[in-house]
Structure 1
Amino acid sequence: MFKGVLLGFMAFAAFAISDAFVKSLRGSLPAYEAVFFGAALGLSALPFIKGAGDRWRDVVLAQRPGLWLVRAGASAVGSIAAVIAFTALPMAEAFVLIFLLPIFVTILSVLVLKEHVGWRRWSAVVAGFVGVLVVLRPGFRVLGIGHLAATVCGLSGAVSMIALRLSGAHEKRVTLYGAGMIGSMLVAGMMMLASFRWPDPAQWGLLLGYGLLAALGAVLLMLATQKAPANHVAPTQYSQMLWAVLFGYVLFDDPLDWPMAIGIAIILGAGLFTFVREEKVTRWWKRIRMI
């Protein structure tokens, strides 16, 4: 159990460092171009994720093709939105909005899965949105494309999670992972055809860090969920916020004022509470292979 949770923290540290690499591009490449190369490099994780009985064609051959396409599309939209958000916003502020994901999952669970959601989880939803208002302070500061992109990223992640709930018990791990990488490559690849710019050596270095560290995070997360229940590993995702605050302060001179700190605490608390309630109410992660 301890090793699984520790691997979870390591996985999300790798994801956070990957995000710092893509933020270091500072918009010097279009977001979709960064996503294309990041996803292509992310395929390097496939040999480690592929099970003994899996075939390479299982990456794209799903038991439920419609849900595979939903995950592929949601991953592509979410990845592009994430790059835009990290480029335009301080890392901590981007994560605040991305971490609305469990709140969006609760809402979509009602709309799509017809789940019953009690007053406790609805209270967490309300608290999460209050935290967003505290962070963003609409009317007191200018909101831009980065805020919209981060919100879209969180919503896309929630859509992908709902598709995972519906298909996870029927699909292989390599299929679930492949949907995100292949979908991102196809969508971003088509978008960059019109105005492709070949990266320079410095940009290649940042892209390598972005893609390979994300692949490392995926492998570590897989190992973590093999050693500990997924509901114990999932909350380690919130350690990314600590990395975001640290990287933002040390590397990017990102400001962090008291209202933002209070809003971050509210949103993280609402998200963690949602995870706890999900375990008690639905226990969905005990029925699927998480990736």
Structure 2
Amino acid sequence: MSANNVRAGILLMIGAVFVFAVQDGVSRLLADKYNVYLIVMIRYWFFAAFVVAMAARSAGGLRRAATTTQPVLQTFRGLLLIAEVCVTVYAFVVLGLIPTHAIFAAYPLMIAALSGPILGEAVGPRRWAAIGAGFIGILVILRPGFAVFAPEALIAVAAAFLFAVYGLATRFAARRDSAETSFFWTGVTGAVAITVIGLWFWEPLAREDWLWMFLLCLTGAGGHFLLIKSYEQAEASALQPFAYFQLVFVSIIAITFFGESIETNVAIGAVIVVGAGLFTAWRERQLNRRSTGASALR
């Protein structure tokens, strides 16, 4: 893979996380006025339409994208993600964008920690050390035992954990299904699940808020499109470090539009968590290179 492809992949990844940061800001704006289920439901309707359109245009069409030998696992993935999205949007409201994303940045470390017992992947002492450092970073953010500790922060921890389990389920599904199939099932099963719940919480939106809702849907589809294109250009291990730019973009949006501030403990904890995540991504890339090199010598 050429350096030009890697450079293009990095730019696309940064573009994707910027769009996702805007999506999170709009989600926070709407969630201040409307219930979370309604917002996520309408967003998922648009997302499901985008997924179906992408599948229809791919080789083999909808039938190939929908074909799977593990429908229970794929449905479980879709339900996990829709739960994570609802919990995350709720955390934006009760906790704020900056601390939520600072805590959420720990999900790659959770994936690394759980990949051993769940997927049977080897996790060496260096990565365990990084996972431990990331856990310390989370404790710095939460400040347990202090009067200022906000129990709402545990909502963000739950969101990160749900996304980590979703990531593991996606890795497991990838052993037998293509990325297109997993993407299709994620959008469709999520849309069905949230509709069953969300219709009970329907409330009319003000005319001007439909514009924000349209922007929310547009950023959701646009962000995923850029993400897909970035992975077409470069390996995930090369792009993962740049996903942390979302925390930077979200912080700018939160400070500018929602009057949030960066608390000292949150800043320190975020640096520790992101640093541990970057080390884990680098270590995984090194191990993948060694494995590829060893395979080539056989």
- One fold, TM greater than 0.5? yes
Q: Which residue of 1 aligns with 2:199?
A: 193
Structure 1 residue ranges (4+ consecutive) displaced by more than 6 angstroms after TM superposition: none
Structure 1 Cα separation of the partners of residues 190 and 32 of structure 2: 18
Q: Deviations over 1:248-290 (max 9, x none)?
A: 111111011222211110010011111112223357xx9xxxx
Q: 1:59: how far off?
A: 4.7
Q: Judging by fraction of residues, say which structure has more helix.
A: 2
Q: Which residue of 1 aligns with 2:233?
A: 227
TM-score normalized by the length of structure 1: 0.90
Verify the 8 A CA contact 1:45 1:218 in the aligned structure 2.
Answer: no
Which of residues 148, 151, 154 is equivalent to 1:144?
Answer: 151
Structure 2 Cα separation of the partners of residues 80 and 22 of structure 1: 10
Q: Deviations over 1:102-154 (max 9, x none)?
A: 11101211221122211111111111111111112123214233x23322221
Q: Which residue of 1 aligns with 2:98?
A: 92
Q: Which residue of 1 aligns with 2:68?
A: 62
Q: Which residue of 1 aligns with 2:19?
A: 14
Aligned amino acid, residue 116 of structure 1: A
Aligned amino acid, residue 143 of structure 1: A
Which of residues 41, 49, 54 is equivalent to 2:46?
Answer: 41
Q: List alignment gaps of at least 5 residues for structure 2.
A: 1-5, 293-298
Q: CA RMSD in A?
A: 2.0
Q: Deviations over 1:207-265 (max 9, x none)?
A: 22222101101111111111122221222210001011111111111011222211110
Q: 1:15: how far off?
A: 0.6
% same residue: 26
Q: Deviations over 1:17-39 (max 9, x none)?
A: 10110011143222121111111
Q: List alignment gaps of at least 5 residues for structure 1.
A: 287-291
Larger Rg computed on CA atoms: 2
Structure 2 Cα separation of the partners of residues 208 and 57 of structure 1: 29
Pair 126,50 (structure 1): closer, same or farther in 2 beyond 3 Å:
farther
Q: Deviations over 1:167-226 (max 9, x none)?
A: 224323332222222232222212223332122223322222222101101111111111
Q: 1:61: how far off?
A: 3.3
Verify the 8 A CA contact 2:80 2:162 in the aligned structure 1.
Answer: yes
Aligned amino acid, residue 150 of structure 2: L
Moved more, 90-99 or 37-46: 37-46
Pair 50,94 (structure 1): closer, same or farther in 2 beyond 3 Å:
farther
* Aligned: 1:210 with 2:216: yes
Give the number of aligned pairs.
283
Structure 1 Cα separation of the partners of residues 225 and 254 of structure 2: 26
Structure 1 Cα separation of the partners of residues 26 and 256 of structure 2: 14
